[in-house]
Amino acid sequence: MTATQFTFIFVIALAFTSLAKLWLARHHLAHIAAHRAAVPEAFREKIMLADHQKAADYTTAKTRFAMRGILFDAALLLAFTLGGGIQFLADLCNAALNNAGFGSPLTQGVATIVAVLLLSSLLEAPFSLYRTFVIEARFGFNKMTLRLYLIDALKGLLLGAILGLPLLFGVLWLMSAMGSYWWLYVWGVWVTFNLLILFIYPTFIAPLFNKFTPLQDEAMKARIAALLGKCGFTASGLFVMDGSKRSAHGNAYFTGFGKTKRIVFFDTLLERLSGNEVEAVLAHELGHFKRRHVLKRIVATFAMSLGFLWLLGQLMQTAWFYEGLGVNTPHPTESGTALALLLFFMILPLFSFVLQPLLSAYSRKHEFEADAYAATQTAATDMVSALVKLYQDNAATLTPDPLYSSFYDSHPPAATRIAHLQALRLQAPRLQTQ
């Protein structure tokens, strides 16, 4: 393949992906607008028209803004690649480090990647600010101050440097020192790093951003302990997170791995749901662990990362891969491994976009299975009522476009999911005996 041919393939992939995303978004907007005037029949006794229309308007605002983000991301990728942005930053970093006496290929490669990531974050910051302080605030969800936003950003930057820089140095060293099978060594480091993060996240990383206090409600603790015992699940603690400090959205989740597993409730969730509904939501989350969904997703992620690293190993040996993306073919003694790594993971979303519906379908399958498990441990009606409240409180649209939803949504649409739970309720006696 020539560099010109690969450039053509890259441009076609970028155009196709961007236009497909825009088309799906427009289809989604039209479907929501067509169903804005009336609450779906299945929800008419539970959700008021004003709440339904708020959800439609909130989703519309987010989708329209996301469409601008699609165009911006495409322009930024073109600027970094064919526009010469990566080559310019690489030359700038190399010259600066050579003048300072730190001109090793490894240091130059790390500096180039960090420069691209920092510039990308800086250019994308206005989008994040607008989402938080305009869209989320307009619909009453944002509770974050600008000061807290900036503190979070600084903490994230420092944490990224502390954890990411050693990893990046290690990866680039392995890529240059381990010969043709470097990708296998890098994969081993990547797997180890991610497992380590799973272990340390609950106790060391998450508390940097939120306050976690042990659940104080003794009656709720007793209910949860009984449910955990019935499901054969152990956790290192039950915690309430001060989610209301940043957002009015509610949630609950498991975090950690092995003995570090924690159950975390947003304070906003506990304020809104009844005891039975909290149990149902927790039973759903337990279903993910009982059906080994977390393990399956980790294994799938690691398997895909191995395949991607192998592919990168093949591409980085070709001149057309670099030149076709606007980068000079690196000399073997220069920081070519960093440029290959950077280019590959910048364009990967374009070529993996077609996998999105399959990944979403796989995730929705897990959600249905977790709901089915919850229906054997708690009343399906409690899960239904909890979901209705969560959809209402989070202003999640009840009428997403089916095509858009099948492409992107990791959870089934509200109507489909609740119909499934109601069917499970009718089967409950039979399920309980299985």
Active site residue 367: no
> Do 323 and 251 share a domain, yes or no?
no
Domain boundary among 315, 331, 352: 352
Q: Is residue 215 part of a domain?
A: no
Q: Is residue 18 part of a domain?
A: yes
Task: Enumerate long-range contacts of 180-188, CB under 8 Å, 24 or more apart.
Answer: 180/313, 182/313, 183/306, 183/309, 183/310, 183/312, 183/313, 184/306, 184/309, 186/309, 187/302, 187/305, 187/306, 187/309
Structural domain that includes position 270: 231-291+358-432
> Do 276 and 319 share a domain, yes or no?
no
Helix axes 336-352, 3-34, angle to 10 degrees: 40
pLDDT of residue 44: 85
Tens-binned pLDDT, residue by residue, of the chain (434 aa): 899 999 999 999 999 999 999 999 999 999 999 999 999 888 888 899 999 999 999 999 999 999 999 999 999 999 999 999 999 999 999 889 888 877 788 898 999 999 999 999 999 999 999 999 999 999 988 989 999 999 999 999 999 999 999 999 999 999 988 888 999 999 999 999 999 998 888 888 888 998 888 888 888 888 888 888 888 887 777 888 888 888 877 777 777 666 667 788 888 888 888 888 988 988 998 888 888 898 899 999 999 999 999 999 999 989 999 999 999 877 544 457 899 999 999 999 999 999 999 999 999 999 999 999 988 888 888 888 988 888 888 888 999 999 999 999 999 998 898 888 888 776 655 444 44
Q: Is residue 214 part of a domain?
A: no
Q: Is residue 218 part of a domain?
A: no
> Do 94 and 243 share a domain, yes or no?
no
Closest CA to 94 of 385, 345, 338, 398: 338
Domain boundary among 304, 325, 352: 352
CATH of the domain at 363: 3.30.2010.10
Annotated catalytic residue within 91, 285, 369, 409? 285
Q: Is residue 121 part of a domain?
A: yes
The SS3 assignment for 212 reads strand
Whether the CB-CB separation of 267 and 240 falls below 8 Å is answered with: yes
Domain boundary among 333, 352, 371: 352
Q: Is residue 303 part of a domain?
A: yes
Annotated catalytic residue within 371, 382, 393, 401? 371
User: Phi and psi for 330 in degrees, rounded to 5?
Assistant: -70, 145
Cα 286–chain centre separation:
20
pLDDT of residue 432: 47
pLDDT of residue 334: 45
> Do 76 and 103 share a domain, yes or no?
yes
> Do 63 and 101 share a domain, yes or no?
yes
Tell me the per-residue pLDDT of 38-87, one tens digit each, with 9 for 90 and over: 998 888 888 999 999 999 999 999 999 999 999 999 999 999 999 999 99
List of residues 6+ apart from 298 with CB closer than 8 A: 194
> Do 112 and 12 share a domain, yes or no?
yes
> Do 144 and 266 share a domain, yes or no?
no
pLDDT of residue 333: 44
Closest CA to 185 of 203, 202, 173: 173
pLDDT of residue 337: 87
Q: Is residue 219 part of a domain?
A: no
Q: Output the pTM of the full model.
A: 0.88
> Do 318 and 266 share a domain, yes or no?
no
Active site residue 41: no
> Do 83 and 149 share a domain, yes or no?
yes
Q: Is residue 283 part of a domain?
A: yes
User: Phi and psi for 206 in degrees, rounded to 5?
Assistant: -55, -40
> Do 110 and 185 share a domain, yes or no?
yes
Report the number of distinct structural domains present in the chain: 2
> Do 194 and 72 share a domain, yes or no?
yes
> Do 239 and 202 share a domain, yes or no?
no
Whether the CB-CB separation of 155 and 381 falls below 8 Å is answered with: no
The SS3 assignment for 38 reads coil
